[in-house]
Structure 1
């Protein structure tokens, strides 16, 4: 796949892109003021995405250079009875924002979802990211006000895994 959308090329990431993906993840973390939370290495990215196939990535290119990425995977809806796509991260380099590259990536993800029989594309957005929220609203996306994200990690995850309560 090397689809052109709004003058940009959108292609599947390959193992050789692990370093580019890693760099874009760090740029995203800087934007979200979360650099201290990134522990993944280029090798972690390569193994998890291209050996274990735990998620997929499409890359948006401008003038042949990687300018954006979208990392996604399937999640399952018991109510719908099939898998849907979940967008974990979408990032466009600052110099390419506002030119249609983010829309091109989301458009391609919508195509992938439909090709795979998915009825939904879901993602999260930080509540302070007004430009992203406005962008998503212009696309016709809606926020689910009745949901809260819950997380357990680190020592608490380990403790839960070790509990024997049934």
Structure 2
């Protein structure tokens, strides 16, 4: 299998949304997806708030990684936060997920970033084992907090 990568372009908004929905099905969170092709075009390609890399097998997009820069005040430099990593079921087990993470690691090093990080659902033991096998360490002492929807609107008042 010939593995290649390519950065997403605005015309790929529909494909990105397809992969987002597929990932949400896998994570049992499809009911939370409200993204549209238009919102993906706006936030990724017009406002440039995230980037997407596709992994291709024999020229066909079979997975993606969506990521953006964050910043560590302790390191005094940017990092890369991996928001989504997904490979279609029929292409799993061929090293494509690992290849995508390695590609992101390479991008982080090329850009002078201090770290690459992501979150993983607690029940996803297969992914947790996969991440640990690559040297990733869980940040057990940290808890993610989130404010969304009505609570976010109320906070903003």
* Shorter-normalised TM range: over 0.9
Report the CA distance between 1:154 and its aligned residue.
1.1
Q: Which residue in 2 is equivalent to 1:15?
A: 10
1:108 to 82, 100, 103: 103
Contact 1:70 1:87 in 2 (8 A): yes
Give the aligned partner of residue 66 of structure 1.
61
- In the TM superposition, residue 72 of structure 1 has moved relative to its aligned partner by 0.4
Alignment of 1:113-152 (within 5 A): 113-152=108-147
Contact 1:88–1:124, Cα closer than 8 Å, also in 2: yes
1:31 partnered with 2:6: no
Q: 2:75 aligns with which of 75, 80, 92?
A: 80
> Which runs of 5 or more residues in structure 2 are unaligned?
none
Do the aligned residues in 2 keep the contact of 1:19 with 1:42 (CA within 8 Å)?
yes
Equivalents in 2 of 1:24, 1:160: separation in Å? 32
Give aligned pairs, total: 157
Alpha-carbon RMSD: 1.0
Q: Secondary structure at the match of 1:75?
A: strand
In structure 1, C-alpha distance between the alignment counterparts of 2:152 and 2:104, rounded to whole Å: 31
Supply the distance in 1 between the matched residues of 2:108 and 2:86 (Cα, whole angstroms). 19
- After superposition, the C-alpha distances for 1:11-52 in whole angstroms (9 at most, x for unaligned) are 111111111110000000000011100001111111111111
Among candidates 31, 40, 48, match of residue 43 of structure 2:
48
Pair member with larger Rg: 1
Q: Separation in 1 of the partners of 2:147 and 2:155?
A: 9
Q: Contact 1:10/1:104 (CA < 8 Å) preserved in 2?
A: no
Aligned-partner SS, 2:22: helix
